C-alpha cells in the first residue's frame, strides 16, 4: 500500500457513462502499481452486490452515477489481472472484488442455467478466498453466494450459505467503528470506507434477509418470519445512522407476513414503516414506505390509492436526479430518460422503470382498461417508459413488458388473436416464475385465436404434475380454450368440445376450494372460482341449446351453479371499496346477478331469489369498509379492524404463494386457507364486539344465503298477521322488478309466498324528487301496480284502518319511494298498513335478535339535540318529547354529546336519541354531516364513538344516502344501527320543518302511550293529514317522506 492515498482520476470528470469510461481508461492507461489497482479496487468495493454501503450513500473520489454492466465487468477483469501479480492479503482481496464484478452476467445474475452454475462456482471461489483474509469480507462473499444459489434454485445451498454468513458476521461482531483494514488497504485508503460496526450490522441484516428468503422458499414460514423480525431488531440499532436500512427491514417483514397470510402483522409493520418515514427526512426511506403502501393498497383492492402512491414514489425518484421535475405523465418522464442514461443514473432508471411498469399494470388490471381505450393508451405509454428505463433489464422484466403489451394489443384489436396467443405462449415459456408461466398460458386461452393448438399444448404441458391449486387455474384456461373452440365447430365435434370444456371447468371449480371435515367450503381464490363456475354455466347453456343428451344441463342445474358463485361475489363486493374497482366489479357481475335472479324467479326458487337479492344489497359494503378506514373521526380501533377485514377478504392462496418458487406442490395450502378463514372469523368477532351484531353479519359475505323473506317475517313479527315484501329493481333498457312477498293472513296462520318478475318503467331507476315534486308524485300514482303484488293489494283491501297490516318493505333500488303514500284499492297504503323499511333481510333478522341491556327498573335513557334557532318550528316537537320524557338530556356540543352517549352499557337500551338538526345527504355510501346547535359538524365517524339507545329519530333532515340506487343503507342510518339503534325514524328527502315538527309532536305522544315506532309514525302522519284532509292529503311532500327504518318497533 502506498504511503499516501493516490489522487483520484475522477476529479473533474463529471458523471455518467462517459465519466466512468474516462475514469477507467485513465486508471488502466496509467498502469501504475501504486495507483491503478487501488483506484480499480475503490470502484469495485463501491459497486459490488451486496453493497458495503447503504443506498444513496456518498462515494467521494468516484464519478457520479453508475457504470453499465460492460464497464463493471471490465473493472473486475482488470482487477483480477492485478491480483495475479500481487501476493498476500492485498492480492487476495483484489481477487475477491474482481471475481464479484468480472463474472457479472448482463442479466443481473439471471442468465442461462449453465452460466448461472459457472457464476456460482466463481462466487464460491471468492468466498473461499475471503475466508482466509477477513471475516467481514468473508461474510459479504457468503451473502453473495447465497443470492447466487437462490437464483440457480439451489435452495438448500442458499440457506447454508446464508446461515454461514450470519454466523461469521455475528462471531466477529465489533463495536469498533474504524474503517475496515482490508478494504482500506485494498482501495488505498478510500475516504468512504465504512466502519466495522456499521458494515457488520449491514451484513448481518442482509444475511438475515437471505436466511428469510431461503427459509420461505423451503416452506419454513415460521423461520422466515423469525429471520425478518431479527433483521428489524438488528437494523434498529443503527436506524438513525442508516434510516433506509431499518425501513427496508420493516418493509420486508410486512411483505413476508402478507405472503404467509399473517395480515395483522403485515399491516402493523407497514404502519411502523409509515411512522418512521414520517419521522425521518431520508428520501430512500420515504420511497420504501411508498412502495410498501402502494402494494398494500393494491392488496386491499384500492387501485386508485395504489396509483396515487406509485406516482408519489415516482415523483420522489425524479426529484433526486432532475431539476425541474417533469410532469408525472408518461411522455414527460420518457423524454428525460436519455439524459439519465448518459449520466449513468442506473439506480434512478431502475426505480423509474419499476414505478412505470407498476402504473401500467395497475391500468391494465384494474378492470378499467377492458372498457376504456384511453386507459389502455396510458398503460402502453408507461410500458414504453419501463422498457427504456430498465437498463440491463432482467429476463423476467423483459417478459413482463412484452406480456403486458400483448394484453393491451388484444384489448385494442391491434394484433390478430393468433399472434397475441402465440406471443403469450412464448412469454409462458420464457418466465422463470411458475406463476408467470401459468398466468400467460391461461390468458392466451382467453385472448388468443379460438382453437389454436399451440395454446392448448402449452396448457396441457403445464398441467403435467402441477400441484392441485395450479392445476385448478390451468384447467380454467383449458375449459375456456375448449369453449371458444366449440364456437368454431358444428355437430358432434362442437358437443365434444363443450363436454370437455364443462369437465375442465368443473375440475377447476373443485380445485379452487378446500372442503373441511365439517362440510364447509373455503374459497382459495374467490374471483377465479366465480370464473370457473361461470364457464360451467356457459357450457351447460350451450349444451342445452345444442340439444345434446348430457346429464346436468337443465335450468335447475344451471341455477345451482349460479347460486354457488354468490358468496364469492359478495366477498368481492365487500373487499372492494375504491371507485374504480367498484365500477369494474359492477360491470363484471351486474348481468350475471340479473340473469341469476330472473332464472330463479322463473323456476320459483324463492331461496335463490333471496340470496341473489342479499348479494345485490351488499354492493356498498366495500365502500362502507373503505369509508371506515378513511374517516378521521372514526375510532382508531374500528378503522384498523375495517382495514384488517378488507385485507382478509382480499387474500387468496395465490397471493400467498412464493413468487419465485420453482418447487412443485404446496403442502401448506390447506393450512393457509384455514388460517385465513379463522382470521376472518376472529376479525368479524372483534368487529361484532366493538361495533355490534349488525357489523358481524353485515361484513360477513358467507351469510348471504342465511336470510329469506319468510325468515324475515318470523323475525320481525313472530306469528302475527303481517307481511314482508322484498323488491329488487333490475335496471336496463327494459327494466324489471323482482317481487317476493311472504305473509300471514291471520295470527298464527301459515306463511304464504308469492314470487314474480314484472316490467318496470324506465324512469324508476332514477326516481328522485329533485326540483320537481309534482312530477315525482304524478309518477308515484302509477307505481302501485308495479310494486305491490296482487296478493298484497288483496290483503290491504280487506284491512280496516283500525287494524292496519304490519308491513316491512325491503326496497332494493327503490329507497326513494314513499310506500305509505301509494294508493291501493282507492286508499292510501298509510291508511291500511303500518309500514317499515329495511335495507336487507339480513338487517331485519339481526336487528330483531338484538337484546336490550339487563337493567330492570332503569328509566329510559333519552338524549335530544334541537337546533331551535335554525329550525324554529321544532319547539313544538321538543315540547312533546320533554312532556313525555322530562329527564331527557339536551346536549348542544360534540363534547356534551360524547358525555351523554359514552356509556357502553347503554348500547341498545330503551330510550330515544332525537336529532332535530339540518344535514347533508352525502354521496359515497358513508360520509354524511349534520350541523349541531353549537355550529360544530357531526359526522358518521363521531357516531361510531358513542353508544345509542334503541330508537333514533332524525326526521328533520336527510338520513338516506342514495335514494336513486339499490343496495345497503349507509351513512347515519347504518352508523346508528352499528352503535345500538334497532329502529330509526328518518326522511327519504328534504322535508318541511313546520309540518315535520307537528307530525313528530304527535309521534312522541304516541310512543309515550306505548305504540310501536311504525304504528306511532303512521298515527302521527294520519293525524296531521286528517286535520285538513282535503288539502293535506294531496300535499304529500309535507308528510310522505318520513319513514321508519329497521324494526317496526
Q: Delimit the domains of the chain by residue range.
A: 1-218, 225-300, 565-703, 707-845, 856-1046
C-alpha to C-alpha distance for 1031 and 73, rounded to whole angstroms: 94
Q: How much is the pLDDT for 342?
A: 85
C-alpha to C-alpha distance for 905 and 926, rounded to whole angstroms: 26
C-alpha to C-alpha distance for 2 and 323, rounded to whole angstroms: 41
Q: Are 857 and 883 in contact (CB under 8 A)?
A: no
Residue with C-alpha cell 403485515? 266
Q: Are 262 and 671 in contact (CB under 8 A)?
A: no
| CA contacts within 13 A on the Cβ side of 413 | 2
C-alpha to C-alpha distance for 161 and 210, rounded to whole angstroms: 9
Other Cβ atoms less than 10 A from the Cβ of 753: the count is 16
Cell of 767: 326516481
C-alpha to C-alpha distance for 322 and 319, rounded to whole angstroms: 5
C-alpha to C-alpha distance for 309 and 304, rounded to whole angstroms: 9
Cell of 1049: 318497533
C-alpha to C-alpha distance for 911 and 1008, rounded to whole angstroms: 11
Q: What is the DSSP letter of 1027?
A: T
101: three-class secondary structure by DSSP: helix
Q: Cα–Cα–Cα angle for 758, 1033, 873, nearest 5°?
A: 115
Q: How much is the pLDDT for 959?
A: 52
Q: Are 162 and 207 in contact (CB under 8 A)?
A: yes
Q: Are 646 and 630 in contact (CB under 8 A)?
A: no
Give every strand in the sheet of 805-812, ordered side by side. Answer: 752-759, 736-744, 722-730, 805-812, 833-837, 1042-1046, 983-987, 951-958, 912-916, 863-866
CATH class of the domain defined by 856-1046: alpha beta
C-alpha to C-alpha distance for 625 and 438, rounded to whole angstroms: 33
Residue with C-alpha cell 335463490? 608
Phi, psi of 343, rounded to the nearest 5 degrees: -80, 0
Q: How much is the pLDDT for 737?
A: 97
C-alpha to C-alpha distance for 639 and 989, rounded to whole angstroms: 30
The number of residues in the chain equals 1049
Phi, psi of 912, rounded to the nearest 5 degrees: -135, 140
Please, is 635 exposed, middle or buried when counting C-beta atoms within 10 Å of its C-beta (0-12, 13-18, 19+)? middle
Task: Calculate the CA 883 to chain-centre distance.
Answer: 51
Instruction: Provide the pairing of β-strand 513-515 with 983-987.
Output: unpaired
Q: Which of 1006, 996, 1003, 911 is nearest to 958 (CA)?
A: 996
Q: How much is the pLDDT for 557?
A: 96
Phi, psi of 921, rounded to the nearest 5 degrees: -70, -45
Q: How much is the pLDDT for 191?
A: 80
Q: Are 72 and 47 in contact (CB under 8 A)?
A: yes
CA end-to-end span of the chain, whole Å? 92
CATH of domain 1-218: 1.25.40
C-alpha to C-alpha distance for 843 and 692, rounded to whole angstroms: 12
Cell of 114: 449453465
Print burial letters for 458-497: b (CB count within 10 Å at least 16), e (below 16).
Answer: bbeebbeebbebbbbbbbbbbbbbbbbbbeebeeeebbeb
Q: How much is the pLDDT for 56?
A: 66
Give every strand in the sheet of 937-939, ordered side by side. Answer: 919-920, 929-931, 937-939
User: What residues form DSSP beta bridges with 1043?
Assistant: 986
What's the Cα-to-Cα distance from 690 to each of 686, 693, 848, rounded to whole Å? 6, 9, 19
**Same fold yes or no, 1-218 and 856-1046:** no
Please, is 650 exposed, middle or buried when counting C-beta atoms within 10 Å of its C-beta (0-12, 13-18, 19+)? buried
Q: Are 246 and 239 in contact (CB under 8 A)?
A: yes
Q: How much is the pLDDT for 6?
A: 41
Cell of 661: 418458487
Q: Which of 410, 489, 475 is nearest to 438 (CA)?
A: 475
Q: Contacts by 27-31 with C-beta closer than 8 Å and gap 24+?
A: 28/78
Query: Which helix (DSSP H) or strand (DSSP E) does residue 835 occupy?
Result: strand 833-837
User: What residues form DSSP beta bridges with 983?
Assistant: 951, 1046
Q: Which of 259, 251, 263 is nearest to 649 (CA)?
A: 263
Q: How much is the pLDDT for 871?
A: 85
Mean pLDDT per segment of 10 residues, for the chain of length 1049 residues? 41 72 92 93 85 74 84 91 90 88 55 66 86 88 87 86 93 78 89 80 90 85 90 92 91 87 88 94 92 90 91 95 92 94 86 95 88 94 93 69 95 96 95 86 97 97 89 96 96 96 96 80 89 97 92 95 95 83 86 97 98 89 81 82 86 51 45 76 86 86 92 96 96 95 96 97 84 86 95 94 94 89 94 94 90 68 92 88 93 95 89 87 68 91 90 71 44 87 87 87 92 96 93 88 90
Q: Are 100 and 43 in contact (CB under 8 A)?
A: no
Other Cβ atoms less than 10 A from the Cβ of 159: the count is 22
Q: Are 607 and 753 in contact (CB under 8 A)?
A: no
Q: How much is the pLDDT for 721?
A: 96
Query: Which helix (DSSP H) or strand (DSSP E) does residue 793 occupy?
Result: helix 790-797
Percentage of residues of the chain with pLDDT beyond 90: 51
C-alpha to C-alpha distance for 493 and 486, rounded to whole angstroms: 8
C-alpha to C-alpha distance for 107 and 768, rounded to whole angstroms: 62
Residue 1003 neighbours by CB under 8 Å, 6+ apart:
880, 953, 985, 1016, 1017, 1019, 1020
Q: Which of 531, 594, 518 is nearest to 564 (CA)?
A: 531
C-alpha to C-alpha distance for 377 and 363, rounded to whole angstroms: 9
C-alpha to C-alpha distance for 997 and 1024, rounded to whole angstroms: 10
Q: How much is the pLDDT for 9?
A: 43
Asked whether the bond before 324 is cis by omega within 30 degrees of 0, the reply is yes
Amino acid at each position: 500500500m502506498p504511503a499516501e492515498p493516490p489522487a483520484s482520476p475522477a476529479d473533474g470528470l463529471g458523471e455518467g457513462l462517459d465519466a466512468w469510461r474516462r475514469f477507467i481508461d485513465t486508471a488502466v492507461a496509467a498502469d501504475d502499481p501504486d495507483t491503478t489497482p487501488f483506484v480499480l479496487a475503490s470502484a469495485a468495493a463501491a459497486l459490488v452486490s451486496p453493497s458495503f454501503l447503504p443506498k444513496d450513500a456518498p462515494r467521494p473520489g468516484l464519478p457520479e452515477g453508475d457504470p453499465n454492466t460492460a464497464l463493471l465487468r471490465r473493472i473486475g477483469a482488470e482487477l483480477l489481472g492485478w491480483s495475479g501479480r500481487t501476493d498476500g492479503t492485498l492480492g487476495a482481496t483484489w481477487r475477491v472484488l474482481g471475481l464479484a464484478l468480472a463474472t457479472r452476467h448482463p442479466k443481473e445474475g439471471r442468465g442461462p442455467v449453465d452460466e448461472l452454475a459457472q457464476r456460482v462456482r466463481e462466487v464460491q471461489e471468492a468466498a473461499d478466498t475471503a475466508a482466509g483474509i477477513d471475516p467481514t469480507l468473508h461474510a459479504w462473499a457468503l451473502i453473495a453466494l447465497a443470492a447466487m444459489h437462490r437464483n440457480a434454485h439451489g435452495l438448500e445451498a442458499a440457506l447454508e450459505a446464508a446461515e454461514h454468513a450470519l454466523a461469521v458476521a455475528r462471531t466477529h461482531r465489533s463495536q469498533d467503528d474504524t474503517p475496515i483494514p482490508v478494504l482500506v488497504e485494498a482501495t488505498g485508503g478510500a475516504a468512504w470506507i465504512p466502519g466495522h460496526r456499521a458494515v457488520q450490522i449491514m451484513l448481518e441484516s442482509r444475511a438475515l434477509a437471505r436466511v428469510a428468503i431461503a427459509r420461505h422458499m423451503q416452506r419454513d414460514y415460521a423461520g422466515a418470519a423469525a429471520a425478518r423480525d431479527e433483521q428489524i431488531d438488528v437494523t434498529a440499532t443503527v436506524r438513525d445512522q442508516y434510516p433506509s436500512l431499518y425501513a427496508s427491514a420493516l418493509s420486508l417483514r410486512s411483505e413476508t407476513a402478507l405472503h404467509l397470510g399473517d395480515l395483522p402483522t403485515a399491516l402493523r409493520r407497514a404502519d411502523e414503516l409509515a411512522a418512521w418515514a414520517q419521522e425521518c427526512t431520508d428520501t430512500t426511506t420515504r420511497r420504501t414506505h411508498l412502495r410498501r403502501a402502494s402494494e398494500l393498497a393494491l392488496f386491499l383492492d384500492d387501485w386508485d390509492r395504489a396509483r396515487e402512491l406509485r406516482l408519489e414514489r415516482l415523483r420522489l425518484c425524479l426529484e433526486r436526479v432532475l431539476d425541474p421535475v417533469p410532469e408525472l405523465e408518461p411522455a414527460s418522464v420518457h423524454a428525460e430518460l436519455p439524459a439519465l442514461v448518459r449520466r449513468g443514473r442506473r439506480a434512478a432508471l431502475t426505480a423509474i422503470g419499476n414505478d412505470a411498469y407498476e402504473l401500467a399494470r395497475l391500468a391494465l388490471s384494474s378492470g378499467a382498461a377492458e372498457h376504456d381505450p384511453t386507459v389502455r393508451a396510458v398503460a402502453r405509454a408507461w410500458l414504453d417508459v419501463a422498457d427504456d428505463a430498465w437498463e440491463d433489464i432482467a429476463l423476467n422484466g423483459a417478459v413482463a413488458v412484452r406480456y403486458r403489451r400483448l394484453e393491451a394489443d388484444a384489448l385494442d384489436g391491434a394484433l390478430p388473436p393468433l399472434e397475441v396467443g402465440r406471443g403469450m405462449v412464448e412469454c409462458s415459456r420464457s418466465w422463470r416464475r411458475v406463476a408467470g408461466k401459468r398466468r400467460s398460458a391461461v390468458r392466451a386461452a382467453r385472448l388468443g385465436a379460438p382453437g389454436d393448438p399451440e395454446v392448448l399444448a402449452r396448457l396441457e404441458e403445464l398441467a403435467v404434475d402441477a400441484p392441485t391449486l395450479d392445476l385448478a387455474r390451468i384447467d380454467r384456461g383449458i375449459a375456456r380454450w375448449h369453449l371458444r373452440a366449440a364456437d368454431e365447430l358444428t355437430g358432434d365435434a362442437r358437443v365434444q368440445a363443450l363436454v370437455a370444456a364443462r369437465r375442465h371447468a368443473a375440475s377447476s371449480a373443485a380445485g379452487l376450494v378446500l372442503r373441511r371435515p365439517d362440510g364447509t367450503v373455503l374459497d382459495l381464490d374467490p374471483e377465479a372460482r366465480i370464473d370457473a363456475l361461470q364457464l360451467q354455466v356457459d357450457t351447460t347453456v350451450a349444451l342445452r341449446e345444442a340439444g345434446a343428451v348430457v346429464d346436468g344441463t337443465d335450468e335447475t342445474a344451471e341455477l345451482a351453479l349460479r347460486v354457488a358463485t354468490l358468496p364469492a361475489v359478495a366477498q368481492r363486493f365487500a373487499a372492494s371499496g375504491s371507485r374504480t374497482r367498484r365500477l369494474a366489479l359492477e360491470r363484471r357481475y351486474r348481468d350475471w346477478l340479473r340473469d341469476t335472479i330472473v332464472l330463479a324467479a322463473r323456476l320459483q326458487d324463492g331461496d335463490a331469489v333471496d340470496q341473489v337479492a342479499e348479494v345485490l344489497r351488499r354492493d356498498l359494503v366495500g365502500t362502507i369498509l373503505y369509508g371506515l378506514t378513511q374517516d378521521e373521526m372514526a375510532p382508531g380501533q374500528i378503522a384498523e379492524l375495517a382495514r384488517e377485514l378488507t385485507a382478509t377478504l382480499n387474500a387468496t392462496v395465490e397471493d400467498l404463494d412464493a413468487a419465485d418458487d420453482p418447487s412443485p406442490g404446496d403442502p401448506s395450502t390447506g393450512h393457509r386457507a384455514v388460517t385465513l378463514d379463522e382470521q376472518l372469523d376472529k376479525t368479524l368477532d372483534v368487529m361484532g364486539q366493538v361495533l355490534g351484531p349488525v357489523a358481524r353479519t353485515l361484513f360477513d359475505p358467507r351469510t348471504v344465503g342465511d336470510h329469506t323473506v319468510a325468515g324475515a317475517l318470523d323475525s320481525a313479527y313472530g306469528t302475527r298477521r303481517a307481511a314482508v315484501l322484498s323488491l329488487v329493481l333490475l335496471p336496463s333498457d327494459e327494466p324489471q322488478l323482482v317481487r317476493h312477498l311472504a305473509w300471514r293472513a291471520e295470527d298464527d296462520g301459515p306463511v304464504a309466498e308469492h314470487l314474480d318478475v314484472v316490467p318496470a318503467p324506465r324512469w324508476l331507476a332514477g326516481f328522485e324528487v329533485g326540483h320537481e315534486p309534482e312530477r315525482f308524485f304524478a309518477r308515484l300514482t302509477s307505481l302501485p301496480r308495479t310494486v305491490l303484488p296482487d296478493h298484497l293489494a288483496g290483503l290491504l283491501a280487506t284491512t280496516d284502518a283500525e287494524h292496519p297490516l304490519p308491513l316491512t318493505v325491503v326496497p332494493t333500488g327503490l329507497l326513494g319511494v314513499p310506500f305509505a303514500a301509494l294508493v291501493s284499492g282507492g286508499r292510501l297504503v298509510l291508511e291500511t298498513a303500518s309500514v317499515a323499511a329495511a335495507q336487507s333481510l339480513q338487517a331485519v333478522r339481526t336487528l330483531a335478535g338484538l337484546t336490550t341491556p339487563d337493567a330492570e327498573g332503569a328509566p329510559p335513557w333519552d338524549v335530544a339535540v334541537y337546533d331551535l334557532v335554525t329550525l324554529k318550528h321544532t319547539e313544538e316537537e321538543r315540547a312533546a318529547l320533554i312532556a313525555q320524557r322530562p329527564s331527557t338530556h339536551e346536549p348542544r356540543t360534540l363534547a356534551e354529546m360524547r358525555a351523554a352517549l359514552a356509556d357502553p352499557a347503554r348500547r341498545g337500551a330503551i330510550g330515544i336519541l332525537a336529532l332535530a338538526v339540518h344535514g347533508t345527504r352525502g354521496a359515497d355510501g358513508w360520509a354524511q354531516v349534520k350541523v349541531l346547535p353549537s355550529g360544530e359538524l357531526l359526522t358518521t365517524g363521531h357516531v361510531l364513538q358513542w353508544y345509542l339507545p334503541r330508537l333514533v329519530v332524525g326526521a328533520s333532515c336527510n338520513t338516506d344516502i342514495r335514494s336513486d340506487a339499490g343496495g345497503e343503507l349507509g351513512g347515519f342510518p347504518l352508523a346508528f344501527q352499528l352503535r345500538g339503534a334497532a329502529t330509526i325514524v328518518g326522511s327519504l328527502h328534504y322535508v318541511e320543518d313546520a309540518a315535520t315538527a307537528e307530525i313528530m309532536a304527535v309521534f312522541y305522544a304516541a310512543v309515550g302511550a306505548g305504540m310501536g315506532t311504525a304504528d306511532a309514525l303512521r298515527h302521527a302522519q294520519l293525524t296531521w293529514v286528517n286535520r285538513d284532509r282535503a288539502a293535506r292529503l294531496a300535499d304529500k311532500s309535507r308528510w310522505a317522506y318520513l319513514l321508519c327504518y329497521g324494526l317496526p318497533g
